[in-house]
C-alpha cells in the first residue's frame, strides 16, 4: 500500500479584502477585532483593503480615521477604495482583488461572522495544502461550529438545493463569505466576474471550474451578527433569478 504524503505550505503574505456598505454601527467592534488579529499574527505580511461600496452613512470616514490612527510594529499596509454608488458585493470584491498585491487573498465580511483568526487555525492545523490553491469556508462542514437563526438556516438550505439542482455545483456552502485564493486564481476569476450581487459567489465557482481549479471546503466557526441585510421576502426571489441568469450565461 502506497503512503501518500501531503505537502503543506506556509502562507507568507496575505491581502484581506472587506466590502463595506452602511456599516457604521458595526465598525467599532470590527476595528477592535482587526487590531487584535494584527497584534497576534506577526508571521504574515498583511495588506488590508476596505472597499466602501457607496455607503450613505459615516462608514468611509470611520475607516479613514481608523487607518490614520492605527499604530503597530508590524508592517501592515492599508488601502481604501471608495465607490460613489452602491455596485454590489461582487463588484466591491472585484475592485479589491484588482488592487491586491500579496500572494494570497482572503475575502471576508466586515461583521466578522467568521473570525480573522480562522485562517491562523487553518494554517496551524496544516489544512492549506500545496495541491490546492482555493479554499472556501463552509458552514456545512462536519467540524464547523455554526450559530444562526432558523430562518437563515432554511434560506441557506433552500439556496444550496437550488444551486446544486440547477447548476450542478457540488460545493455545499457557496455563500459563506470567508474565502481564500492564491492571487493568480483570484485575479483570473474576479476579472471575468459579471454578477455583482450575492450570486457572485456562484459565478466564481463556475469560472474557477472552467480552469479546472479545485476548491477545497474547510470548517469555520460562524456566528450570526445583528443588523443583517438579509431580506427574507425579497432575497429568495433574487436568489432564484440569479441562479437562472448564471445558468443561461455559463451552461
Q: Which three cell numbers stand for residue 178?
A: 470567508
Are 183 and 102 a contacting pair, CB within 8 Å? Answer: yes
pLDDT band for position 1 (50/70/90)? very low
Q: How confident is the model at residue 79 (pLDDT cuts 50, 70, 90)?
A: very high
Q: Write down the mean pLDDT value for the chain.
A: 88
> All 3 cell numbers of residue 7?
505537502
State the pLDDT at residue 180. 98
Does 136 or 250 have the greater pLDDT score? 136
86 compared with 240, residue with greater pLDDT: 86
3-class DSSP state of 16: strand
Instruction: For residue range 57-75, list pLDDT tens digits in order.
Output: 999 999 999 999 997 767 7
8 Å CB contact between 14 and 102:
yes
Residue 248 confidence class, pLDDT cut points 50, 70, 90: confident
pLDDT score recorded for residue 247: 76
Q: Which pLDDT score, from 0 to 100, does residue 193 have?
A: 94
**Does pLDDT of 19 surpass 90?**
yes
Q: What is the pLDDT of residue 108?
A: 98
Residue 113 near residue 224, CB atoms below 8 Å = yes
Residue 3: its pLDDT value, please?
41
Is 80 exceeded by the pLDDT of residue 80? yes
Averaged pLDDT, 156-174: 76
Site of grid cell 485562517 = 119
Q: What's the pLDDT score for residue 144?
A: 96
Q: Which stretches of the chain are assigned E, i.e. beta strand? A: 13-20, 45-53, 76-83, 104-107, 134-138, 145-147, 179-182, 215-219, 221-223
Specify the pLDDT at position 2.
42
Going by C-alpha positions, the residue among 250, 170, 168, 184 that lies closest to residue 217 is: 170
**Given a cut of 60, is residue 6 above it in pLDDT?**
no
Amino acid at each position: 500500500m502506497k503512503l501518500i504524503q501531503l505537502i503543506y505550505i506556509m502562507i507568507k503574505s496575505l491581502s484581506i479584502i472587506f466590502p463595506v456598505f452602511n456599516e457604521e454601527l458595526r465598525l467599532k467592534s470590527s476595528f477592535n477585532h482587526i487590531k487584535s488579529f494584527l497584534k497576534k499574527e506577526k508571521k504574515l505580511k498583511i495588506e488590508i483593503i476596505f472597499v466602501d461600496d457607496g455607503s450613505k452613512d459615516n462608514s468611509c470616514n470611520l475607516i479613514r480615521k481608523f487607518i490614520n490612527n492605527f499604530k503597530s510594529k508590524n508592517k501592515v499596509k492599508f488601502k481604501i477604495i471608495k465607490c460613489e454608488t452602491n455596485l454590489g458585493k461582487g463588484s466591491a470584491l472585484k475592485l479589491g482583488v484588482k488592487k491586491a498585491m500579496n500572494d494570497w487573498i482572503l475575502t471576508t465580511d466586515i461583521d466578522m461572522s467568521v473570525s480573522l483568526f480562522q485562517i491562523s487555525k487553518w494554517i496551524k492545523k496544516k489544512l492549506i495544502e500545496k495541491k490546492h490553491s482555493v479554499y472556501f469556508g463552509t458552514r456545512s462542514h462536519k467540524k464547523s461550529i455554526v450559530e444562526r437563526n432558523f430562518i437563515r438556516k432554511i434560506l441557506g438550505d433552500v439556496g444550496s438545493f437550488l444551486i446544486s439542482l440547477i447548476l450542478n455545483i457540488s460545493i455545499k456552502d457557496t455563500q459563506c463569505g470567508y474565502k481564500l485564493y492564491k492571487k493568480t486564481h483570484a485575479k483570473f476569476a474576479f476579472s471575468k466576474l459579471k454578477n455583482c450581487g450575492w450570486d457572485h459567489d456562484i459565478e466564481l465557482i463556475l469560472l474557477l471550474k472552467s480552469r479546472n481549479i479545485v476548491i477545497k471546503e474547510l470548517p469555520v466557526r460562524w456566528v450570526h451578527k445583528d443588523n443583517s441585510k438579509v431580506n427574507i421576502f425579497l432575497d429568495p426571489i433574487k436568489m432564484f433569478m440569479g441562479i437562472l441568469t448564471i445558468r443561461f450565461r455559463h451552461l
